[in-house]
A = this chain, B = another copy of it.
Amino acid sequence: MRDRPSITDVAAHAGVSIKTVSRVVNAEASVLPATRARVDLSISELGYVPNSSARTLKSGVGDAVGVVIDTIADPFFAALVSVIETRALAEDMGVLFASTGFDEGRERDQLLRLAGQQVRGIILAPVAQDHGYLERYRASTPIVMVDRPRDTFDSVVVDDIRATRAAIDQFVRLGHTRIAFIGFDARFSTTTHRYEGYRQALAEHGIPLDHTLAPQAAAEVTDAKVATLGLFGLASPPTAIFAANPRAGIGVVDALHTTGHTGVAVISFGDFAFASVIRPAVSYIDQDPFHIGNAAIERLITLINEPGTQRKRIVLDTNLVARGSGEIRATA
């Protein structure tokens, strides 16, 4: 099991000093073309790859950004990570990816592990409320929060309250008064905010809040499906349903199609695969992970290159995309 060649091996092979090899590898000036050619040849003959640990150790800064999210299996986060990687690569950085599984302890472990890896910066979909323990590392490792804001950090979010209000407003304009809210989860500030938007919109239109229309803990596909099915056992079932996240949206639509209630109006927060294929196609609030990821990585790169930049909360616009299901009128 021969060891990997190091810069020393290359230097010996090319008959130069290690410093010269270093200069060639880093494309520094002041190396004679002939020397450079000789070194390049040795590099490719030996299959030399610079050891990034040694570089990182010497320079103090790593060559990767960290991305910490709930789970990569969620298409929203997968898309987020995808754009982040593309942009990071353009800056010659890799992506160290870590999932929290919604667990505060694990979030902490993962963040500290990334700190130990000397990542250049971190993009985090936060779980815990308080990240005081990160204070020590912030100076050297900028952090951008995504999806859920945290006041003492930079963040990239959408205006959940406003977007939800717009959706509920549309339902009301179409004559709906029995409007359900599926997908609440107290753990996430996002769904909490969306619920707040729902509450505000109803209040504004003088529609009394009916708690049976907003079941708790229905943020996952199956829970949302079950909760939706439950709604049709009510004396007065809803004529419109707001799904607070894409997974809830899938559950809701599954329930509606299984039971033939396809005349119920539906708007989902966030698009999902197939939402456009189903009939009626599902209207949704556009919370584009590509935009969010892009804004986050751009912000992070700014913070990396210009430390001391003023903290900022970036709020991205959302659109209500009409595809049919959200434009169904209330039946008289």
Question: Which residues does A use to contact B, with CB under 8 Å?
Answer: 1-4, 47, 49-54, 56-57, 60, 62-64, 71-73, 75, 78-79, 81-82, 85-86, 94-99, 112-118, 133, 136-137, 139-140, 250, 253-254, 257-258, 272-279, 307
Task: Give bound CA distance, A175 to B181, whole Å.
Answer: 46
Report B-chain residues with C-beta under 8 Å of the C-beta of A81: 72, 97
Q: Are B118 and A52 in contact (CB under 8 A)?
A: yes
30 residue pairs A–B, Cβ–Cβ below 8 Å: A1-B139, A1-B140, A4-B115, A4-B137, A47-B133, A49-B115, A50-B116, A51-B116, A51-B118, A52-B117, A53-B53, A53-B57, A63-B117, A64-B96, A71-B82, A73-B75, A73-B82, A75-B273, A78-B78, A85-B97, A86-B99, A94-B113, A94-B117, A95-B97, A95-B98, A96-B97, A97-B97, A253-B274, A258-B277, A272-B273
Residue of B nearest to A44 (CB): B133
Task: Give bound CA distance, A279 to B121, whole Å.
Answer: 46
Report B-chain residues with C-beta under 8 Å of the C-beta of A253: 274, 277
Q: Which 6 residue pairs are nearest across A and B when measured between Cβ atoms? A: A274-B274, A53-B56, A47-B136, A78-B78, A73-B82, A53-B57
Report B-chain residues with C-beta under 8 Å of the C-beta of A63: 117
Task: Give bound CA distance, A49 to B63, whole Å.
Answer: 18
Q: Are A99 and B72 in contact (CB under 8 A)?
A: no
Q: Which of B3, B62, B73 contacts A53 (CB 8 A)?
A: B62
Give min CB distance, A265 to chain B, whole Å: 17
Task: Give bound CA distance, A96 to B94, whole Å.
Answer: 7
Give min CB distance, A271 to chain B, whole Å: 11
Known: A73-B79, A85-B98. A52 touches B116 (CB 8 A): yes
Task: Give bound CA distance, A317 to B90, whole Å.
Answer: 39
Q: Are B113 and A85 in contact (CB under 8 A)?
A: no
Q: What is the total number of copies of this protein in its complex?
A: 2
Secondary structure of the A side of the interface? Answer: mixed
Report B-chain residues with C-beta under 8 Å of the C-beta of A94: 96-98, 113-114, 117
Give min CB distance, A91 to chain B, whole Å: 13
Task: Give bound CA distance, A53 to B117, whole Å.
Answer: 6
Q: Are A85 and B57 in contact (CB under 8 A)?
A: no
Which of A1, A4, A112 has its CB near the most chain B CB atoms (within 10 A)? A4
Task: Give bound CA distance, A64 to B95, whole Å.
Answer: 12
Give min CB distance, A311 to chain B, whole Å: 16
Q: Which of B51, B75, B140 contacts A57 (CB 8 A)?
A: B51
With A53-B117, A72-B82, A94-B96 given, can you name 7 additional A-B contacts, CB distance below 8 Å?
A50-B116, A51-B57, A82-B99, A96-B97, A97-B97, A250-B273, A274-B275
Report B-chain residues with C-beta under 8 Å of the C-beta of A112: 49
Report B-chain residues with C-beta under 8 Å of the C-beta of A273: 75, 250, 272-274
Give min CB distance, A284 to chain B, whole Å: 13
Report B-chain residues with C-beta under 8 Å of the C-beta of A85: 72, 97-99
Task: Give bound CA distance, A98 to B115, whole Å.
Answer: 20
Residue of B nearest to A56 (CB): B53
Q: Are A96 and B96 in contact (CB under 8 A)?
A: yes
Report B-chain residues with C-beta under 8 Å of the C-beta of A274: 250, 253, 272-275, 277-278
